[in-house]
Structure 1
């Protein structure tokens, strides 16, 4: 049997690759000789660069850059297409995963390190840079990234604004009056930028970057107005000085506004993440060759975010007439989901109520055991000739 293992990340517990490994471990305990292929799915968030690089036969390079709070971090990018294309994730340099929840400080958090990583990619002489925008710790409208590549921001009095990593703050960005590109890295204009987005939210408004995703980055309710003011000022200046209105543009709110900054200053094109990954990694071709596909995620419910990765895998499997199984950490309203999602079967790996720290610690073991029991059930069916 050819088995394709294509889970999404189990948010807060397992990366997509770790989830795929756990499923593989559980399955091979029963079916050691099956042909297994791992396709840890990402849709613009953490793991996107790794998936694209591995599936396209590329190589990785690691650089030290600034983390979201100006601490040194090792950030990785991938090289594909014989070195002509670089692939990187915002999360590797400016991601939530780099900060303990108690240490999140969005007023100071900067995307500067992502700009540094882009500069390293440009140093490699690439023709195209693909940027996965999900899971950022920042909400600075890409100001840090912009400055890392030579861009400058001034207030109405001609004073240069520092990026948050250099002592500037989000409230200071609300004073921005002019965008200056005189020292902007000219290689950017010779490079194609493609943004892989896990959300389509605009940069401003009730459905914008701050209101929707700010709380998970540590933005308190009483801080919302100052963040919205900063992003509003940035959007207005980008529109006036660079001629591109990102105010309500889809995907401009991705990664705390990095999407909008790169659309305006880099002339980047934005794409829905899951579909982009599916097309560029040949998922449907792999599904067509598989006898069975297993996908999964941390929590399945009817409040599915845009481009729910497992659901897209299941839909694609249905088109390819490949049987599919869904394994989630938890399934909410299971009866309703079973009737509406195109999975051949659905399973939950969490079998008992436990304190959250215990759930997080045992996520991989629970997923492995669930897959093991699934494989045992399939083996029994085969032995019984069912």
Structure 2
């Protein structure tokens, strides 16, 4: 029996690896001779660095950077064992969780710290980047990040503008001659799980701006600013990707990374799974285990468990998912490669009780134990 486990985090309860190792413990109790591999799973949001670095035995580097509100924060990124690969989580430097709810307004947030993380990794010798851009507090079109990497954004008088979302509305020209030349000899894989364009009704400002504290008037201002930015880039550099799926990710950070840094936008889960060798591990697996805190019909729209299932089915493995809870429409997952899914709660309880890490791990272990026992009996 060969079992590969790649479970996304159970948010507020278990990290990806904690969940994976819990299931592995249950598997070993039922199949003591099985070959079991636990791999990290994340989608590019919060927890990506921990999942990848802890699994691949890299190191974490803490850096003091400019946070989303323009004030210093302690951020981190990972360096894998080869010393050439950096794992950057934009949420660590510009995430919504870093902004108190009463201060949330994308007019006054910046991605500058993300650029500082990338620059620091370049200084350490990294030339391959895995960049997760989920969970942002920003809508600056990636301007702050590019400024930290040497790009200048100028107003109508030729003077540099500031780094906040509101400053984007004053941009009339861009000078990219100072952009860090090391980016040209680097590869950037961007973990991106949204398909939104940069501007318009399906764009960064309209869809995600309200989640970051923007009212209707602010959404319109920011959308116009991003549209104007795209026009400047199109006219000056001949780059026209504002309608590319994912260009609106993280308030336009996806657009900036592709346009100026040569990045490739990919499914967040695929970036992680490819870098930890999931396809190789799953090639002759009998069973692949995945899951996350909640499964529903939206899980099939590019979320991590569905990506695992799709990749696992290429090798013909049986795919089982565990979750904290499952919506009635989660049955859509059965048509997408997840052969069966199992909510882990053992009895009615409060949400607080269910989310407690010890309780979540206990419930996950017991459920996994029963599923593995059933599989053993069916052999």
Matches within 5 A, 1:149-228: 149-164=149-164, 170-228=165-223
Deviation at 1:216, TM superposition (A): 2.7
Q: Which of 292, 299, 307 is equivalent to 2:287?
A: 292
When normalised by structure 2's length, the TM-score is 0.86
CA distance in 2, matches of 1:117, 1:158: 28
CA contact (8 A) 2:299 2:306 kept: no
The reply to whether residue 235 of structure 1 matches residue 215 of structure 2 is: no
* Cα-to-partner distance string for 1:264-305 (whole Å, 9 max, x where unaligned): 222323223333333332212222354432211222222346
Instruction: Check conservation: 2:190, 2:271, Cα contact below 8 A.
Output: no
With 213-222 and 110-119 compared, the bigger mean Cα shift is at 213-222
1:26 and 1:368 in contact (8 A); partners too: no
Change (3 A) 1:377 1:46: closer
How far did 1:52 drift?
4.4
| Corresponding residue pairs, total | 379
Alignment of 1:1-386 (within 5 A): 2-11=2-11, 14-24=14-24, 36-54=36-54, 58-80=58-80, 82-164=82-164, 170-304=165-299, 306-333=301-328, 336-337=331-332, 339-350=334-345, 358=352, 361-362=355-356, 365-366=359-360, 368-376=362-370, 378-379=372-373, 382=376
Change (3 A) 1:57 1:181: same
CA distance in 1, matches of 2:215, 2:120: 34
Tell me if the contact between 1:65 and 1:93 (Cα under 8 Å) persists in the aligned partners: yes
Structure 1's unaligned 5+ residue stretches are: 165-169
| Root-mean-square deviation over aligned CA pairs | 3.1
CA offsets 1:159-216 (integer angstroms, 9 cap, x no match): 321112xxxxx33311210112243323333333332322232211222112222233
Gapped regions of structure 2 (runs ≥ 5): none
Q: CA deviation at 1:363?
A: 6.0
Distance 1:154 1:42, change over 3 A: same
Query: Quick one: structure 1 residues 31 and 184, their matched pair in 2 at CA, closer, same or farther if it must change by over 3 Å?
Result: same
- In structure 2, the CA distance between the partners of 1:361 and 1:220, relative to structure 1 (3 Å rule), is farther
Counterparts of 1:237 and 1:161, CA distance in 2: 15
Match of 1:303, SS? helix
CA distance in 2, matches of 1:263, 1:51: 25
